[in-house]
């Protein structure tokens, strides 16, 4: 039973049996909304919980480098960092560098840990994102990942399956794709190889890649 919602994603929820508190706001992290509710209620979270909420903000906003980051995220993070007694920026960089490389993850982890499905231009689309500290291990996993993506695409009846591999250090991404041929043919990105594109400067699926793909496929209808 859902008793309340705090979120920062676009709406797409199932109906609830009864009215509930429902807050969706334009911030970089849901952890920011939780922290703001604590501040409003004059509740100070325990040190460990403050550290977890801080981790959520720093991870979601790539230590405020993501275009989804807002001033509210930074204010909430500074409040949490003081409670957790953590050097916010130093910890943020340490947190981003702690992400395991592609070589240490299973195909399931790479493709399904952070994956969302959309309808764009009337077509079923699935977009996954994985964060890494560099693209060094991508060539050795590329063919295996693409083969699995095509298998999943066929099984789920998708027109397009994309994997956004984001280098959290340099703030850029590569896009691996398996799709109907006509979609790959209209992608406006630099092609690096079969099913691989450079989408330099993109780090946010929600604010950068999804709107771009949605506009592209809507125009192709």
Candidates 76, 74, 84; CA nearest to 45 is 84
DSSP β-ladder status, 115-120 and 5-7: unpaired
Q: How confident is the model at residue 10 (pLDDT cuts 50, 70, 90)?
A: confident
Average pLDDT over residues 19-32: 92
Secondary structure of 179-220 in the HEC alphabet? ECHHHHHHCCCEEEECCEEECCCCCCHHHHHHHHHHHHHHHC
Helix (H) or strand (E) holding 94: helix 88-97
Query: What's the pLDDT score for residue 106?
Result: 92
- Cβ-contact 83, 116 below 8 angstroms: no
Tell me: the pLDDT tens digits for 81-99?
999 999 999 999 898 888 7
This prediction's pTM: 0.75
Query: What's the pLDDT score for residue 98?
Result: 80
Query: What's the pLDDT score for residue 15?
Result: 80
Average pLDDT over residues 32-52: 96
- The helix/strand/coil state of 7 is strand
11: pLDDT strictly greater than 80: no
Gyration radius (Cα) of the chain, Å:
19
Candidates 104, 127, 123; CA nearest to 115 is 127
What's the farthest any 2 CA atoms get from each other in the chain?
A: 55
């Amino acid at each position: 039973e859902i008793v309340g919602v705090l979120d920062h994603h676009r709406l797409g929820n199932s109906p609830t049996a009864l009215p509930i508190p429902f807050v969706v706001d334009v911030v970089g992290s849901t952890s920011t909304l939780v922290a703001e509710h604590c501040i409003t209620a004059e509740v100070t979270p325990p040190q460990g919980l403050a550290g977890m909420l801080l981790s959520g903000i720093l991870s979601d906003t790539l230590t405020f480098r993501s275009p989804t980051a807002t001033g509210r995220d930074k204010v909430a993070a500074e409040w949490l960092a003081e409670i957790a007694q953590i050097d916010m920026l130093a910890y943020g960089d340490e947190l981003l560098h702690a992400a395991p490389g592609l070589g240490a993850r299973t195909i399931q982890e790479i493709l399904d840990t952070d994956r969302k499905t959309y309808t764009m231009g009337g077509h079923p689309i699935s977009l996954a994102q994985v964060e890494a500290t560099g693209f060094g291990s991508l060539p050795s996993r590329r063919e295996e990942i693409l083969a699995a993506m095509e298998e999943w695409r066929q099984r789920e009846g998708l027109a397009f399956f994309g994997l956004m591999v984001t280098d959290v250090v340099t703030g850029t991404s590569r896009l691996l794709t398996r799709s109907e041929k006509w979609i790959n043919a209209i992608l406006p990105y630099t092609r690096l190889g079969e099913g691989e594109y450079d989408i330099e400067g993109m780090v946010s699926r929600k604010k950068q890649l999804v709107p771009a793909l949605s506009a592209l496929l809507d125009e192709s209808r």
